[in-house]
């Protein structure tokens, strides 16, 4: 293998830049040429592809977003779009590709694999919803952004003796809600993987209120439904003044944490080494602090699971 490409796709996540840097620098270290593909699979189809040098990825390790830009590309879901992508890769003499993104990006990478093109994926999403890895790049940073927000909201919640519903991202996964709710000392955590009963939430809130608690925090994963609706239901059922904050896209930005930078660097370098040794159709990840690789189609066939022990613990500690 002489020349590889790298692209970022889907929702951006803090640490994608560190991953791109690791791919580019490791490739050059291993005496490969490396090309950046801009705007995800859209840029692959249109041929927005440029040679990367050591300096192309200077001064980005600490930056959020992705210097390669990102996109969600409908055309790449079609056979025609995929063929155009493979043609561009051939035209540029690219022999292997590293795709950094979430499950939609993995589906695109699996299609390239089925077309016989050597592709390795890295888990880049704040949602932490990719099977076969304990952590995705960007999750830790998003979590810290949410915790910062919860701590701030708690100050004003206490001053006004209010209940707050905080809606967080995660698409269909509850990891951001669960981890931030546990770390932020939330009274209740609502995640799509577990059913909830409003009367249990109300009991928990009234118990705290009767004990003299000055505020309550309920973290709701967006996959459960609208935080605004939940807040209305809580206020109606308890009579407590309730406010809602939807954190939205601030969760996707910001300088990546040290954890995300290190994770991205380790995974990015591993992907390059795997391409060199002829591996393809694999998704790299980290499990029990060991770098691992699973077949992309196997990863896609599994359902993401939350950590049940952590969910149980969150309930015990917020009694």
Maximum pairwise Cα distance, the chain: 70
Quote the least distance from Cβ 219 to ligand F6P, whole Å: 14
129 is catalytic: no
Provide the b/e sequence for 278-309 (b: ≥16 CB within 10 Å): ebbbbbbbbeeeebebbebeebbeeebebeee
Query: Looking at beta carbons only, is 39 or 252 nearer to ligand F6P?
Result: 252
Nearest to 96 by CA among 276, 283, 225: 276
Query: Looking at beta carbons only, is 11 or 132 nearer to ligand F6P?
Result: 11
The dihedral through the CA atoms of 140, 217, 178, 126 has a sign that is negative
Q: What's the DSSP call for residue 318? A: T
Quote the least distance from Cβ 169 to ligand F6P, whole Å: 3
Beta strands in the chain (DSSP E): 3-8, 33-37, 49-52, 96-101, 119-123, 163-168, 188-190, 216-221, 242-246, 282-287, 290-295
Q: Which residues make up the interface to ligand F6P (CB under 6 A)? A: 11, 102, 125-127, 169-171, 222, 252
Cβ proximity of 275 and 261 under 8 Å: no
Query: Looking at beta carbons only, is 154 or 252 nearer to ligand F6P?
Result: 252
Query: Looking at beta carbons only, is 250 or 258 nearer to ligand F6P?
Result: 250
Quote the least distance from Cβ 143 to ligand F6P, whole Å: 12
Query: Looking at beta carbons only, is 165 or 176 nearer to ligand F6P?
Result: 176
Q: Out of 127, 140, 175, 260, pick the active-site residue.
A: 127
Quote the least distance from Cβ 299 to ligand F6P, whole Å: 16
- Do the bridges between strand 216-221 and strand 163-168 make them parallel or antiparallel, or are there none, so unpaired? parallel
Quote the least distance from Cβ 170 to ligand F6P, whole Å: 5
Q: Which positions are catalytic?
A: 127
């Amino acid at each position: 293998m002489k020349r590889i490409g790298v692209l970022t796709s889907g929702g951006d996540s803090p640490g994608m830049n560190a991953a791109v840097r690791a791919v580019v620098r490791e490739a050059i270290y291993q005496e490969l040429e490396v090309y950046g593909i801009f705007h995800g699979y859209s840029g692959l189809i249109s041929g927005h592809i440029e040679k990367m040098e050591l300096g192309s990825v200077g001064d980005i390790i600490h930056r959020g977003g992705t210097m390669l830009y990102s996109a969600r590309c409908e055309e790449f879901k079609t056979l025609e779009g995929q063929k155009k992508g493979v043609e561009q890769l051939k035209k540029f003499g690219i022999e292997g590709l590293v795709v950094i993104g979430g499950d939609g990006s993995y589906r695109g990478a699996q299609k390239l694999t089925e077309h016989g093109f050597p592709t390795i994926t890295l888990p880049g999403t704040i949602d932490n919803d990719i099977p076969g890895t304990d952590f995705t790049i960007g999750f830790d940073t998003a979590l810290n952004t949410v915790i910062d927000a919860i701590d701030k909201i708690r100050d004003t919640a206490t001053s006004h003796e209010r209940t707050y519903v905080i809606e967080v991202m995660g698409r269909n996964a509850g990891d951001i809600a669960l981890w931030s709710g546990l770390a932020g000392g939330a009274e209740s955590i609502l995640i799509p993987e577990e059913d909830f009963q409003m009367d249990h939430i109300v009991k928990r809130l009234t118990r705290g209120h009767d004990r003299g608690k000055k505020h309550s925090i309920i973290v709701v994963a967006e996959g459960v439904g609208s935080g605004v609706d939940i807040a209305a239901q809580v206020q109606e059922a308890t009579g407590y003044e309730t406010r809602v904050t939807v954190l939205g896209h601030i969760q996707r930005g910001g300088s990546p944490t040290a954890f995300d930078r290190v994770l991205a660097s380790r995974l990015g370098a591993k992907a390059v080494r795997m391409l060199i040794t002829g591996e393809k159709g694999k998704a790299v990840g980290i499990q029990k602090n060991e770098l691992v690789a699973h077949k992309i189609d196997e990863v896609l066939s599994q359902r993401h699971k939350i950590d049940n022990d952590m969910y149980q613990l969150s309930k015990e500690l917020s009694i």
